[in-house]
Structures are given as C-alpha cells and as structure tokens.
C-alpha cells in the first residue's frame, strides 16, 4: 500500500506542473474528485509502486482518501514535453464507504508514522 502525506491546499503554476494542475494538497472543503485530481500525481515512486493495489492519501496524520490503483505511469512516458521527469502518476478509483479498505483506513490515523519523504509504503496485515 502506498501512503502519501499531503500538505495544505496551495496554488501551483500549471505551466510548470507535469499534469498542468492549478493546485495540490488538501483542504476539507475539497470534493473527493478534487482531492484525487490535485494529488494522484506527480510523485517520486520506487519500483515497488507498480505492484501496489491501494494508495492512501493522508493529511495531518489522518487518512483522507483511499484509492484502488489501476496503474502507475511515469510522467516521462505519458506527458508530452515532460520526457525528463522522474515522477509518476497513480491512476485509479476513489474508494467509497462500505468497502474493506475505505472502512479500515479513511478517517483513521495514518498506518505509517510521519517521515521526511511524503511517500511511504505499508504492508497491510
């Protein structure tokens, strides 16, 4: 499981961002779709990421979103003009209440302690 710690919502320059986004981060006022769009990329992910089934997005130590991963793509291979990027994008489905992963993790403390790197991995028991 990939666990990504988000910072507060902030504007970014779409001309510089690999995905052309105008904002990243988290705010409680954001819709589920907005949280996903702002944060499903771009991350420095290790080789392990392609084998993971789920990603959790956390904010201030609490899981705010769970994603079932369809695929992980390198920005350099998918975004024209970004061939030099070493970052990746997580594509998937935002999970909803009633599912095992959502119910176990969303609105609960992060399963990993905070660290210097916002991307961590968690071996689900």
pLDDT > 90? residue 30: yes
Structurally, how many domains does the chain consist of? 1
E runs forming strands in the chain: 2-6, 10-11, 23-24, 41-43, 54-59, 62-74, 88-94, 119-121
CB 67 within 8 A of CB 89: no
Distance of CA 12 to CAs 24, 73, 102, 104, Å? 7, 22, 29, 32
**Distance between CA 45 and CA 52 in Å, rounded?**
11
**Distance between CA 85 and CA 81 in Å, rounded?**
9
Q: Is there a cis peptide before residue 73, judged by omega within 30 degrees of 0? A: no
Mean pLDDT for the stretch of residues 69-94? 88
User: Residue 83 sits in which domain range?
Assistant: 2-121
The tens digit of pLDDT for each residue in 45-55 reads 989 999 999 99
């Amino acid at each position: 499981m990939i666990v990504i710690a988000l910072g507060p919502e902030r504007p970014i320059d779409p001309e510089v961002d690999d995905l052309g986004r105008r904002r990243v981060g988290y705010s409680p006022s954001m819709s589920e779709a907005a949280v996903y769009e702002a944060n499903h990329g771009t991350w420095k992910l290790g080789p392990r990421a392609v084998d993971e089934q789920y990603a959790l997005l956390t904010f201030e130590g609490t899981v705010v979103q769970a994603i079932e991963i369809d695929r992980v793509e390198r920005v350099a291979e998918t975004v024209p003009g970004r061939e030099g990027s070493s970052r990746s994008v997580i594509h998937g489905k935002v999970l909803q209440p009633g599912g095992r992963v959502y119910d176990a993790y969303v609105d609960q403390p992060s399963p990993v302690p905070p660290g210097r790197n916002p991307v961590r991995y968690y071996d689900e028991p």
